[in-house]
Structure 1
């Protein structure tokens, strides 16, 4: 019997196993198969190396059993390689079988039917099951991920999201063993209907093998062959999270643009799985966009990946499908954020997953990619996950106002307010400042309205006490401190406190009277790092004060006022008056610090 195998039965070992039980006179290998396998191996694709390994084993069997091994045909043309997906290579293999009077052996059902239509004898091999050293053997019930590297060994992360430890589970592992494990992974992913080869590029292969997300790397991409496998060990429902009734109502009724943020391994994917299944339980149509598809979800939730390698094309399909909610797992590139934006503006409820160490950092991923005024229409809720739990929830609101810390009415502009959902406390403001979009932390004592109120109190005090030096600071909605020269305190308070009581009634706020000068002890003092350069001095203040106006102090005396750069530092030329003041203070050994204005 003459046999012509095609690529489908070579790459997964089915043809090799078939040879063990059949009497074969001659095996004919089309040059098209050799060309295809060589091309895949040269690109560093795992499937190519698997096929090379099996071709060598086929030759060994032929030599042992005296089977004639020949090659037929010629290498395919470039246009045939480009159209391999349309069946050009398969057609070359069928022609080889037909011209040789041999039987075609295939595991591809389409190839089988075409051969039968053309009258070519064909043997169809069902998918086979093999038992080898498998990636699952390295996992225990508490193992989150396994990291295998040739000649180094195998390590496992054990524990739960945010609380795990890295342990060595194999002292050494040979390149051959690693290759065998990779071979098994790729084979099973090709056969299993619930597994996928998500990406196969030169030096890197990404596989979703059931619940295992696996990355296989080899030279030249990595210095040695390596396998990293990740598996979710916890599956929770939304009820398992300690969420408030306010957050639950928001997720169910109002939130339609949710960002779930957290550092790698914090438990983001586990949480979005819970949200996806919660929405499905409310009779909503839920889809996912994942690359790779590694969320473990009910069968009712369809999981999409990048269509022809493009999430934009997946988004186009979803615009036609129009689900109620879409889970976009792991947004990284600008195109991902644009797809999220397009779907959200089209009316689809979106839940996006992003890597971020703070909740506000997730919002910053949109800045520069999307117009500022559109962001609140896209994102209304940010849920930050740490150690498998909800650490912070922020909400967004768009308004027009004078940003906190500014005083002039004509400085009003569109501002995105970022608030804590539980306390409704204003934490950040996002607005345009010159040509930049800035994210400014807001402290309660520095709120713009407080500063405006303090100015009003100072004006009223000067009307009541002409010529009085006075400084006011509002510390809460119903209390303020006023600072006057020590000799004037008794006059301001009055006999038995009657005058200050009248002033409090007039202003509608409780007042504490303190000596002028003591207000410096109650404001934030930030010591700075001084960096000396050839012609300049750089004072490192911190990015949290970027674009803020501060007073620079040396010990107890103020040197000057200045605005901090967007990078969080103050640059001074040594030859300027301010530079000389700092130089002199440093020469005297005085401590340099700043106080926000």
Structure 2
């Protein structure tokens, strides 16, 4: 009697059920108990599609006279793929799969297997004709594509009929079939977790999410990043010179979809063309770069592994696409301080926001050693360029000469004008716009003083008032809190006034 051992994908996609009915299968089907545990866990978290598919498979077996059995393996700690292979070897059965990795391993071990998958559900090459940027499929929602260019795109529905869960499972199975046929050559599975799979299928990046991570099965396919060179951008000649001669800590910033990664890719190729050693850090790896640029996957590396590899291999430049969390910024900062040229891609709505995201993680005087150039992208083009340098001066908004301190000047690269100053006052880092006159800056400085004083008082006193008038700090406190002020706050505020060259007036707050 023939024996089949299905994996979870052929069950949840209902391909196993369809095959049993079409072939009138009357043999034995061995379902590994770990698959049922997985379906049970998904049901507990609100996703009943897998359990419903298993129920339909059982009913199909009853109609054809097949026997379906739930079986275990000796080692309950093994993963699902290993368990399927053990069952096949123990029973002499045949693995039925829609998983490219399982199929390849069965090939290598001479284990009999069948690969079930549809082949004509969707043609990605036809979908991505013209200016289609991405394909968006979600159960119970009509399929849509995003058309246009960075900064000027729109959604279009491919059909007004919502796609069902069963149809979308077949799309997933077809995508994985294409991965199977090119696995290890032009396709690979970069991330595979319980509810997430990120696949590189030739030049397409495919993101698959399942409940409960998402509220339904969703498949997103992103078109390859457009390959551009620096010559395709309208760049001032002096910027090109700076990128070669001076810029070693570069931030490429901008909102999502504005061409940051495309520019970073062009910059990587430009450095490569100059004979420099260039590497990338990506998650997932979807920059379209030459084969002699090594692409490292952040999601595949352990903590500290990327730092060690890059520090020992000593590239001239490393492109980090893109920096999101504290660990990403730490790698960028540590590698830059080790002397490696860094290009970091970062989401930000304004150029100064990008600087602030890094500045809050560094001592003020070190910032220009880590970031010396900020390139802001808007609608696929370079819209703003900042350079950073540190000087010792009295920052804007402070008055007294002995308040001079390290101050980072943020300059417009093309005009040389200072647009922002960064400095530390107390324990806070301030970013002050450089106004044409001192009035606006002084108001902002006064606001910062009142904020600091209010923070000191607010820990102990309610109902206080704080104002700065000229060179005087005025504080009004309810009478019942005056002793608390003297004990808890007075010394700190005296010290602040000395630093800011302000006189102090403290009075009782009049009722009413």
- Please give the TM-score of this superposition, normalised by the length of structure 2: 0.74
Tell me the SS of whatever aligns to 1:430: strand
CA contact (8 A) 2:24 2:64 kept: no
What CA distance in whole angstroms lies between the structure 1 residues aligned with 2:465 and 2:68?
A: 86
Say how many residue pairs are matched: 456
Gaps of 5+ in 2: 470-512
Q: Does 1:366 align with 2:358?
A: yes
| Of 229, 235, 243, the match for 2:221 | 229
CA contact (8 A) 1:305 1:311 kept: no
Per the alignment, residue 445 of structure 2 pairs with 548
Residues 148-547 of structure 1 aligned to structure 2 (within 5 Å): 148-176=137-165, 177-189=167-179, 192-193=182-183, 194-201=186-193, 203-232=195-224, 234-308=226-300, 310=302, 312-446=304-438, 547=444
CA distance 1:60–1:235, shift in 2 (3 Å): farther
CA distance 1:102–1:185, shift in 2 (3 Å): closer
CA contact (8 A) 1:157 1:166 kept: yes
In the TM superposition, what is the alpha-carbon distance from 1:361 to its structure 2 partner? 1.0
What CA distance in whole angstroms lies between the structure 2 residues aligned with 1:339 and 1:217?
A: 28
Per the alignment, residue 131 of structure 2 pairs with 142
Per the alignment, residue 508 of structure 2 pairs with none
Tell me the SS of whatever aligns to 2:318: strand
Per the alignment, residue 486 of structure 2 pairs with none
CA contact (8 A) 2:374 2:387 kept: yes
CA contact (8 A) 2:6 2:16 kept: no
Tell me the SS of whatever aligns to 1:548: helix
CA distance 1:104–1:150, shift in 2 (3 Å): closer
What CA distance in whole angstroms lies between the structure 2 residues aligned with 1:195 and 1:50?
A: 27
In the TM superposition, what is the alpha-carbon distance from 1:564 to its structure 2 partner? 5.6
What CA distance in whole angstroms lies between the structure 2 residues aligned with 1:69 and 1:145?
A: 41
Larger deviation, residues 392-401 vs 227-236: 227-236
CA distance 1:415–1:64, shift in 2 (3 Å): same
Per the alignment, residue 38 of structure 1 pairs with 39
1:328-353 deviation digits (Å, cap 9, x = unpaired):
11211111100111121222211101
In the TM superposition, what is the alpha-carbon distance from 1:179 to its structure 2 partner? 3.7
CA distance 1:320–1:578, shift in 2 (3 Å): closer
CA contact (8 A) 1:400 1:415 kept: yes
Tell me the SS of whatever aligns to 1:304: strand
CA distance 1:159–1:396, shift in 2 (3 Å): same
Larger deviation, residues 380-389 vs 303-312: 303-312
In the TM superposition, what is the alpha-carbon distance from 1:567 to its structure 2 partner? 12
Per the alignment, residue 73 of structure 1 pairs with 72
Residues 86-101 of structure 1 aligned to structure 2 (within 5 Å): 92-101=83-92
In the TM superposition, what is the alpha-carbon distance from 1:241 to its structure 2 partner? 0.6
CA distance 1:29–1:424, shift in 2 (3 Å): same
Tell me the SS of whatever aligns to 1:429: strand
In the TM superposition, what is the alpha-carbon distance from 1:243 to its structure 2 partner? 0.8
CA contact (8 A) 2:46 2:211 kept: no
Gaps of 5+ in 1: 117-121, 447-522, 525-543, 551-561, 580-597
Larger deviation, residues 351-360 vs 341-350: 341-350
Larger deviation, residues 405-414 vs 224-233: 224-233
1:303-333 deviation digits (Å, cap 9, x = unpaired):
2212546564333332233322211112111
In the TM superposition, what is the alpha-carbon distance from 1:432 to its structure 2 partner? 0.5
In the TM superposition, what is the alpha-carbon distance from 1:408 to its structure 2 partner? 2.5
Tell me the SS of whatever aligns to 2:143: strand
CA contact (8 A) 2:10 2:96 kept: no
What CA distance in whole angstroms lies between the structure 2 residues aligned with 1:288 and 1:21?
A: 49
In the TM superposition, what is the alpha-carbon distance from 1:100 to its structure 2 partner? 3.3
Tell me the SS of whatever aligns to 1:242: coil
CA contact (8 A) 2:391 2:408 kept: yes
RMSD, aligned α-carbons: 4.3
CA distance 1:189–1:567, shift in 2 (3 Å): farther
